[in-house]
Chain A
Amino acid sequence: MTTILRRNLTGMLLGGVHRFWVPASQPHIYNAIILKKEAATYVTRVTPQGESSESTQSSSSSSDDIFNKHSNSDKTERSTYVEEEVAKFRYMSDSWWDINGDCKPLHSLNRLRVSLMREGLVQCGTAKMEYISGPQPLTGLKILDVGSGGGILCEPLARLGAKVVGLDAAEENVNVAQLHAEQDPRVQHNVQYVCGTVEEHAEVTKDQYDAVVASEVLEHVNHPDLFIQTCAQIVKPGGSIFLTTLNKTVGAWVGAVAIAEYALHLLPPGTHDWNKFVPRQELLFILEKNGFVTRMVHGMAYNPLNNEWYWIPNTAINYAVHAIKES
């Protein structure tokens, strides 16, 4: 009842105010996904017929479906990545685990995003009752981290007991993440890194994950609606999607681009393109359109002086969303 009410209200509020993406109006194969999360860039676009994908595949194998390698034939038709885009992040693969390096804010963001996911999964009843007050509250859950980079978010989720798949388009990142995971037995057995795009992954894993997370990814995506639509195929009915991204506001340009990249050099200049930022209401609408019910939207703020993130009510710059796929 409440759900229906909320959906209708959202629809009314959004109607006519925001421009919609209508994926159906575009040739399907043009629906590009650019996932430039942390360092990885995924671009799905038309490729010359028969050209094989550059995307590499994870060396690891498992009998489990979700760990299965993507078959080349699935990818060749519409997936490749833009080497120029990826190249600028390849150099970063060394610095993922330098907690005082370029990825410093991503490390400290874990405090918020891990809490959000843990609490979200516990409160919506996805986490299994028998584990929630124990040492590994997310035991028995399958989580996909889209754009996992060096595995900064995958590792804590794995320590919490979840079986995590880290999906990244850059082989360098997958390798770094894999090597780092091997340092900790608590992580090693629960995490699997896969090189590929979300679209490829969706073809082998329908309705499989208890949760999909795309943290700091959406602002690098060319067509967020297609991205969400793809994620919707991957999540189990009743499962969760967690997103953290940047709002499309003047404040976000000042804070995330002008100050963070150019003034303070917290991130390499050029990391973010304001045009790709997603307005909050638009994202909520896309989620709704793809069968998600939004449970929580919250603003986040970063203090570069003490390298800490805080939850704030204001969603003008960074914000986080938790939504649940309707059963």
Chain B
Amino acid sequence: MLPSLGIGRIIKSSIRHVSRKRRGGGGGGVVLFSRSLCVRTGGDNGSDAESTSPPPSTAAADHYDVVISGGGMVGFAMASALGKSARLSDRRVLLLEGGAERVWDLSPDYSNRVCALNPTTQHLFTSLGVWQHILDMRAQPVKRMQVWEACSEAMITFEGDEERPVAHMVENDVTLQALKSLIPSHVQVEYNSRVSGYQLPQDTSSTVTITLQNGRTISTDLLIGADGVRSGVRAAMGVQYLGWEYDQMGIVATLELSEPTDNTVAWQRFLPTGPVALLPLSEDKSSLVWSTTKKTAQHLLSLSDEDFTDALNRAIWDDKPRDARLESLHKGWLRLLETVLPWTNEGVVRQLPPSVTSVIPSSRASFPLGLGHAVHYVAPRVALIGDAAHRIHPLAGQGVNLGFGDVAILLETLEKAVLLGADIGDERMLYEYERGRQRHNMATMTSVEALYRLYTSEAPPLVLLRSLGLSAVNLITPVKERIMSHANG
């Protein structure tokens, strides 16, 4: 049944740590067979090493064409993308995850970890064949976004429609499960594989060597770092990383609404302490993302569920004391806009957010907020994706979408490299990914950072400026469309 010893060994080792087994007779298998024959060297056959086609320098190690470090949503999306690509179908792909494999079933309770997946991400997932699986499990479309603030009347709305929602709220576990369960069988996933060191080459004449804590070494033509904010791959690259921690914490929770409604609107209100967002999960449940100062966050986490709900409702409904002159200036500005742009006035209606009756017990959690950006995403035979490359404030719901955007563009770059007959670890090809992504990610991060700074201030001139600006943007459709199209990649 097994065409060669090489494949037999791979299957054996797959059964040991891996959830999926390698196909015996496929095209990839045949390639594997011939390559393992030609380069197999003595070495440590007794260990769980399977040797296929390593370059002469690392003959004793396992060799993979691509190794992805980190089995989060972005890491698995990358693995899925590489596995599904026809141009990369002959590559051996390995995903290393430090944690244990988790058995997961869709429970009726919503998880408190939720992301808004934008249309670009939806497009990527559709092409990977996982989107329908996500919808089948659980996803709530967001057809409208309303953003307003505590210090003025100004607001902005973003409208989607039935066919093209602004985003979908999807629990992280659902996304991860969909990606994991549909990962192509020739992609190998190894859990409990903690990396103790990466040895990166100066140029493409040698390969990357990865040492695992269990002593095993792996070599690869391309290492993809999807290992999160404290990326070990980034550290090994020695790349400069610019960033800071905000004096803020994000509080997440699952909320029960007072009555079942259509609930397809995402609400976000800027408070001087940070934005609070209610994101729809179902008819009567929403997810909370509340960014606030560390001190307030500690206080909020210590409250009882009832008191927390009251505090949240106050944050959504109560206005800050307002400056009468600012109010009248803003009213005048709105009238002026309506006169100058009479045709844009339709459809911009202020809706009232739902009121929250309770917070689901023990669904409250918090996480630190920060900003960070790697000066380089790539080096010879290495590329960073997702949070390993950039970290962003959650106020625009862009974090993981940027990561999935990285996946899409890196895949495109690697496919292009294949078509040009280039080595997939060639830094000249990888720079193309870096150039394209940094341009987009930097623009997003700068805008989000500017919004954050603008809205954490209570100074009247700034309040006036942002109110006038927001109201104007809200009425000028082309500007709004530009914002939406950038946010959607």
Contact = CB atoms under 8 A, between A and B. Distances in A.
Do A and B share a complex? yes
B38 A111 contact: no
A299 interface: no
A160 to B, nearest CB: 5
A99 B421 contact: no
Interface in A183-241: 183-185, 189
A134 B55 contact: no
A106 interface: no
Contacts of B88: 135
Contacts of A182: 56
Interface string B70-108: 000000000000000011111100000000000000000
Given A99-B428, A185-B35, A185-B53, A134 B422 contact: no
A118 B56 CA distance: 30
A59 to B, nearest CB: 18
A137 to B, nearest CB: 7
Interface string A145-169: 0000000000111111000000000
A136 interface: yes
Contact of A156 (B55, B203, B421, B428): B421
B90 A136 contact: yes
A26 interface: no
A157 B421 CA distance: 6
Contact of A110 (B53, B87, B422): B422
B422 A159 contact: yes
B419 A115 contact: yes
B443 to A, nearest CB: 21
A31 B411 CA distance: 50
B35 A118 contact: no
Given A183-B55, A185-B35, A114 B86 contact: no
B228 to A, nearest CB: 30
Interface string B406-437: 00000000000011111100001000000000
Nearest to A158: B421
A181 to B, nearest CB: 12
A62 interface: no
Interface string A125-154: 000000001111100000000000000000
Given A99-B428, A183-B205, A185-B39, A137 B419 contact: yes
A155 to B, nearest CB: 7
Contact of B419 (A107, A118, A155, A189): A118
A115 B418 CA distance: 11
Q: A107, A133, A155, A183 — which one has the most chain B CB atoms within 10 A of its CB?
A: A183
B413 to A, nearest CB: 13
A185 B38 contact: yes
B113 to A, nearest CB: 36
Given A134-B87, A184-B55, A110 B421 contact: yes
Nearest to B221: A184
Given A99-B428, A134-B87, A135-B88, A115 B205 contact: no
A160 B35 contact: no
Given A99-B428, A111-B420, A134 B35 contact: no
A160 B86 contact: no
Contacts of A159: 418, 421-423
A111 B419 CA distance: 9
B35 A114 contact: no
Contacts of A185: 35, 38-39, 53, 55
Nearest to B429: A111
Nearest to A183: B55
Nearest to A159: B421
Contact of B420 (A134, A136, A156, A189): A156
A135 B421 contact: no
A135 B90 contact: yes
Contacts of A158: 421
Contacts of A115: 419-420
A184 B88 CA distance: 16
Contacts of A97: 205
Contact of B418 (A107, A111, A135, A189): A135
Contacts of A110: 420-422
B50 to A, nearest CB: 16
Contacts of B205: 97, 183
Q: B39, B56, B90 — which one has the most chain A CB atoms within 10 A of its CB?
A: B90
A69 B239 CA distance: 50
Interface string A98-122: 0100000001101100110010000
Q: B55, B86, B420 — which one has the most chain A CB atoms within 10 A of its CB?
A: B420
A110 B420 CA distance: 7
Contact of B421 (A107, A108, A133, A155): A155
Nearest to B90: A135
A114 B428 contact: no
A14 to B, nearest CB: 35
A114 B90 contact: no
B422 A184 contact: no
Interface string B114-150: 0000000000000000000000000000000000000
Nearest to B206: A183
Nearest to A110: B420
B421 A134 contact: no
A135 B65 CA distance: 13
Contacts of A134: 86-87, 89-90
B87 A135 contact: yes
B378 to A, nearest CB: 15
Contacts of B53: 185
Contacts of A108: 428
Q: A107, A108, A137, A156 — which one has the most chain B CB atoms within 10 A of its CB?
A: A156
A142 B53 CA distance: 24
Interface string B213-234: 0000000000000000000000
A118 B38 CA distance: 28
A157 B419 CA distance: 10
Top 4 A-B pairs ranked by shortest CB distance? Answer: A156-B421, A159-B421, A135-B90, A160-B421
6 contacts: A99-B203, A110-B420, A114-B421, A115-B419, A135-B88, A135-B91
